[in-house]
Amino acid sequence: MLSLERLRCERTESRFALLLIGAEDLTDEIGIAIAGAVRETDITGWYRYPTTIGVILTALNETGRETLESVVVERTNAVLSLHVDAARLGQVRISCHIFPEDDLRDRIFYSDRDENISRRIIPVRQRDVATWPAASTR
């Protein structure tokens, strides 16, 4: 999902943010707090099960990269502090990454550009396409 959103944003020259919330033992209270704080257009799911929740935040304004990252982390921290006790909150890791990145500083998010990693989308052979019914005939 992350690769598709990244490619979409590169094509349309728009931006999105990837918010990562991690802890050794993510509790229901953390998941509920995050679910209640995201917009309907944001995509939430496991980034790394069962320790990291990922949220793709779309339709960002033109705020600078550093400011936007800081604001997203601060707001997430504020939401979590309403639902999670201080000791537990101290164990939660929050990070924000804005895409597309000009310098590709976080190579892990660009595995589809790494020649050593095979693509997850399997190419369709031309003869297979020829046997599919045309969409316009339905």
Strands 16-22 and 93-99, bridge-based pairing: antiparallel
The pTM for the full model equals 0.70
- Of 114 and 120, the structure prediction assigns the larger pLDDT to 114
Binned at pLDDT 50, 70 and 90, residue 102 comes out as low
d(CA 118, CA 30): 34
Mean pLDDT of 1-27: 85
Domains of the chain: 2-137 (3.30.70)
- Of 95 and 125, the structure prediction assigns the larger pLDDT to 95
Query: Which residues fall within 8 angstroms of residue 76, CB to CB, at 6 or more apart?
Result: 19, 21, 34, 37, 94, 96
Binned at pLDDT 50, 70 and 90, residue 77 comes out as very high
Mean pLDDT lowest among 56-70, 71-85, 123-137 = 123-137
Mean pLDDT of 9-38: 87
Query: Which residues fall within 8 angstroms of residue 7, CB to CB, at 6 or more apart?
Result: none
Mean pLDDT of 22-39: 87
d(CA 35, CA 33): 6
> CA quadruple 75, 91, 45, 68: dihedral positive or negative?
positive
Binned at pLDDT 50, 70 and 90, residue 106 comes out as low
Closest CA to 55 of 89, 96, 90: 96
For residue 20, the SS3 value is: strand
